A and B are shown apart, each in its own frame.
Chain A
Amino acid sequence: MSMDPTIPGAPPERGFLRLALANRSFLIGCAITLAVAGLALLSFFWTPYDITHLTVADRLKGLSTNHPLGTDHLGRDILSMIMIGARNSIAVAIVAVLIGMGIGVPLGAWAAARGGLVDEVLMRFNDLVFAFPALLSAIMITAIFGPGALNAIIAIGIFNVPVFARVARAGALSIWPREFILAARAAGKSRTLITIEHILPNITALLLVQGTIQFALGILAEAGLSYLGLGAQPPMPSWGRMLFEAQTRMIVAPHLALFPGLAIVVTVLGLNLLGDGLRDLLDPRLRRER
């Protein structure tokens, strides 16, 4: 019997690891993301300096062996501030992604399963949310309900909902007409059961990839909000706020503006690489390059 070469389907686990080790984007993305997450975790137990302790004599120091990234206008160690700031950035972005997924995915999958009016209403709702410039609305929400990490999370999370709803719906709609779904219906399974057993497992890859993208965007958005003073409030350090404070002192201490920005770029870059790598690995059908 001569037949087709094996087509890409679910990769067996052993092959997956080998592919993962050969995927440069995935490896670099993983390394960066793990490093940033590791620093954030480490900051709970240890930082080079105690940032609640202000040493005015040490203010606006440049790079040195004592302070590898220098100190700010209150004499706080920049490296320590960046480590603790990572905590805040990651927490806000992750919870916002979870909010978006938790509400958006069920909505999108529901719309795809039901079709008709439910679907139409949901899509119009999506259009509505997309009509509000996301960052601006987040600014409005945080400004009106008071600045702070919690309101930042909610504001960013709300705008993740339609993104995940849309991705889940599009993914589910591409699975529904497949023959294995018809076979499952012929086996008497309800739409809910089919969604749980067949649809969701087949769109996890899509959702995971979108998750890393929204995670990265969440970090950028949080930085923007805290730059405007609407994110985490002092004394809790945040990357955006550090940049705001650096701006007025740029002539005397340009390094203040450099490192928090680099921290954002590296983190977002790591997440984007991770997302690209995951997309290649998890679902060959999503791969854009042939």
Chain B
Amino acid sequence: MSLLSIENLSLDIGGTPILKDIDLQIAPGEVLGLVGESGSGKSMTALTVMQLLPEAARARGRVTFDGIDILAAPEDAMCRLRGDDLGMVFQEPMTALNPVKPIGEQVAEGIRWHTGVSRADAEARARAILDRVGLPEAKFPLSRYPHELSGGQRQRVVIAIACALKPKLLIADEPTTALDVVLQAQILDLLRDLVGENRMGLLLISHDLAVVAEMADRVTILRHGAVMESGPTGAVLSARRHPYTRQLAEASTHVPARPRDPSAKPSGPPLLEVRDLTRDYPGRRTGLFQHEKPFRAVDGVSFSLPAGHTAALVGRSGCGKSTLARMILALDRPTAGSVSLMGETLEGKSEAQLRGARRNMQVVFQDPYGSFNPRHRVERLVAEPLHLFDKRPDAGERRERVAQALDDVGLAAADMDKYPHEFSGGQRQRISIARAIITRPKLIVADEPVSALDVSIRAQILDLFADLNQRLGLTYLFITHDLTVARAITDEVMVMDEGRIVERGPTSDVLRHPTTPAAQALVGAAPDLEQALARRLSAERSGSPL
């Protein structure tokens, strides 16, 4: 007897079909991984079960939870179900809590509503569940407000709200996507424990096969609103019978071909040299004339990068890696220390004096949507860095150069007359790279360049980076929190922690044998698809639960 059963579920919103004939089952105590890329309809499936769909949505089919026909249930019956037998955790912990209410009240509110106990009893129970999710009273009294907590702590509060009444089914929609790997591992552990303690069903929605392989007993793969394949996690993800499953699995562990002799030592002077770089931000004001101690985002960082080299700067969120990247790009002024590119120091120079250096170093950002002015055509967007040449190319030459750059990144020259919103996310990231290479720079700093992309697109963009490294002899500095990116494409890894580089070495060495605690935490927390699958398979074959 399954806890949740979805049969032939179809959904359209305002006439646009979103889901087509979805089938899935979850038994009590079972973890089902619902996998798919953006736009595949995973979140809408979850919201259908919760009956929290947008008003224009129309659902057909059967959704049965614990014997109740969800699609036919009246609103007050759903209100009794939600937060009691049916809990939900969302992706974005920063906005999921009401900013004007203390966390205790937000947890206790649902308890009081469903059980009718007194305020004091509800608060006692809220206290207990907050303790359980790892927010002990000493540091996290009920009177704390959401803005006083970090993202990981807030996600724990959301989990506490969802699990306060020991639901039979918990739906977790990308619960760790907004968190760094270390926090992700902690939250996943917590979810796994809660499932075990209460024999709770868990519908885990994720785009990350490795996370699903570690967590889920069974997996359902969704694409364009339809189920592609489903079955036991280990079997489905290792046999890869369905072509889409194979495509997803291969893309997640994709390593671009880089025919390069690892023993070849780069020679000559370093391309980029960073010396004792430090950046302080003024502390919060605590009184009229008092400030907290300045916050040191980057603390005495030194390293050098030879030409043609590919390095990754990895670390948890808030470790200072983005600040460091901005100082290297001369977009932020260091408090102390120096950056030099091809022997030329950058700090203390005016914008005009920096033109030469800027020609030789360009940047690719994370967000393929935010990195273009939506009102300009591609030609103008890609040509923007040509501003750095003392002799500006004329219109014809400009178009020629843009066409060349677009060709380099695998787009057509005709694309230059379109607007950015006419392109998909992956194509936009290509445009972003075209803009970065149009001045034929030596160094590209890429700040999380594939984090916002779906796995299959991400593999293609990584291939493009590898290809350009070969053809144009580019040097890369990748800023990333994702070790798979570092593993896929870089020669060298620098691990950053609290503003310092704590460990540095060849990528394979550092990822295999991290020596410092910060690096060990990162590597240990990173989900690994191959290892997780191996464990799953052996468990599935022996028939014992993991």
Task: Tell me if chains A and B make direct contact, with any CB pair below 8 A.
Answer: yes
Chain A residues at the B interface, C-beta cutoff of 8 Å: 1-10, 12, 178-180, 182-190, 197-198, 201-202
Specify which chain A residues have a CB less than 8 angstroms from the CB of B425 in the assembled complex: 3-4
B23 on the A face (CB < 8 A)? no
Task: Give the CA-CA distance A197 to B371 in the complex, in Å.
Answer: 15
A186 contact from B385, B419, B454, Cβ within 8 A: B385
B420 contact from A9, A183, A187, A190, Cβ within 8 A: A9
Contact B38 A202 (CB under 8 A): no
Specify which chain A residues have a CB less than 8 angstroms from the CB of B370 in the assembled complex: 178-180
Task: Give the CA-CA distance A29 to B365 in the complex, in Å.
Answer: 42
B197 on the A face (CB < 8 A)? no
Contact B375 A186 (CB under 8 A): no
Contact A3 B384 (CB under 8 A): no
Q: Considering only CB atoms, which chain B residue lies closest to A175 in the complex?
A: B373
A188 contact from B365, B388, B419, B432, Cβ within 8 A: B388
Specify which chain A residues have a CB less than 8 angstroms from the CB of B424 in the assembled complex: 1, 3-4
Q: How far is the CB of A281 from chain B (nearest CB, A)?
A: 15
B351 on the A face (CB < 8 A)? yes
Q: From known contacts A180-B373, A186-B358, A201-B373, infer whether A6 and B422 are also in contact, taking CB-CB under 8 Å.
A: yes
A interface, over-half SS: loop
Task: Give the CA-CA distance A227 to B6 in the complex, in Å.
Answer: 69
A183 contact from B40, B354, B365, Cβ within 8 A: B365
B43 on the A face (CB < 8 A)? no
Contact A188 B354 (CB under 8 A): yes
Instruction: Indicate the size class of the contact surface on chain B.
Output: 35 or more
Specify which chain B residues have a CB less than 8 angstroms from the CB of A3 in the assembled complex: 38-39, 424-427, 454, 457
List 21 A–B pairs whose Cβ atoms lie within 8 Å, in order of A's numbering. Answer: A1-B424, A3-B426, A3-B454, A4-B425, A6-B421, A7-B421, A8-B421, A9-B374, A9-B375, A10-B421, A179-B365, A179-B367, A179-B370, A179-B371, A182-B331, A183-B372, A183-B435, A186-B385, A188-B354, A188-B358, A188-B385
Most buried by A among B369, B373, B427: B373
Contact mask B344-375 → A, CB, 8 Å, 1/0?
A: 00000001001100100111011101111111
Contact A190 B351 (CB under 8 A): yes
Specify which chain B residues have a CB less than 8 angstroms from the CB of A178 in the assembled complex: 370-371
Contact A187 B374 (CB under 8 A): no
Contact B457 A183 (CB under 8 A): no
Contact B224 A2 (CB under 8 A): yes
Kindly count the residue-residue contacts between A and B in the assembled complex, taking CB atoms under 8 Å apart.
Answer: 92
Specify which chain A residues have a CB less than 8 angstroms from the CB of B384 in the assembled complex: 183-184, 187, 189
Q: How far is the CB of A185 from chain B (nearest CB, A)?
A: 6
- 19 other A-B residue contacts (CB within 8 Å) besides A2-B39, A186-B361, A188-B388: A1-B424, A2-B40, A3-B424, A3-B457, A4-B425, A9-B375, A9-B419, A10-B419, A178-B370, A179-B371, A180-B370, A182-B331, A182-B365, A183-B371, A183-B384, A186-B329, A188-B351, A188-B355, A190-B351
Q: How far is the CB of B491 from chain A (nearest CB, A)?
A: 24
Contact A202 B387 (CB under 8 A): no
B456 on the A face (CB < 8 A)? yes
A5 contact from B39, B374, B422, Cβ within 8 A: B39
Q: How far is the CB of A37 from chain B (nearest CB, A)?
A: 28
| CB proximity to A under 8 Å, residues B302-330 | 326, 329
B408 on the A face (CB < 8 A)? no
Most buried by A among B331, B361, B427: B331
B208 on the A face (CB < 8 A)? no
Specify which chain B residues have a CB less than 8 angstroms from the CB of A180 in the assembled complex: 370-373
Contact B421 A187 (CB under 8 A): no
Specify which chain B residues have a CB less than 8 angstroms from the CB of A6 in the assembled complex: 421-422
Task: Give the CA-CA distance A269 to B145 in the complex, in Å.
Answer: 43
B37 on the A face (CB < 8 A)? yes
Q: How far is the CB of B228 from chain A (nearest CB, A)?
A: 12
Task: Give the CA-CA distance A187 to B419 in the complex, in Å.
Answer: 20
Task: Give the CA-CA distance A198 to B369 in the complex, in Å.
Answer: 15
Contact mask B136-173 → A, CB, 8 Å, 1/0?
A: 00000000000000000000000000000000000000
The 5 tightest CB contacts between A and B, nearest first, are A3-B424, A9-B421, A9-B374, A179-B371, A187-B385
Contact mask B427-461 → A, CB, 8 Å, 1/0?
A: 10000100100000000000000000010110000
Specify which chain A residues have a CB less than 8 angstroms from the CB of B355 in the assembled complex: 188
Contact mask B397-433 → A, CB, 8 Å, 1/0?
A: 0000000000000000000000111101111000010
Contact A187 B223 (CB under 8 A): no
Q: How far is the CB of B193 from chain A (nearest CB, A)?
A: 35
Contact A12 B375 (CB under 8 A): no
Task: Give the CA-CA distance A184 to B388 in the complex, in Å.
Answer: 11
Q: How far is the CB of B105 from chain A (nearest CB, A)?
A: 27
Task: Give the CA-CA distance A10 to B38 in the complex, in Å.
Answer: 23
Contact B223 A2 (CB under 8 A): yes
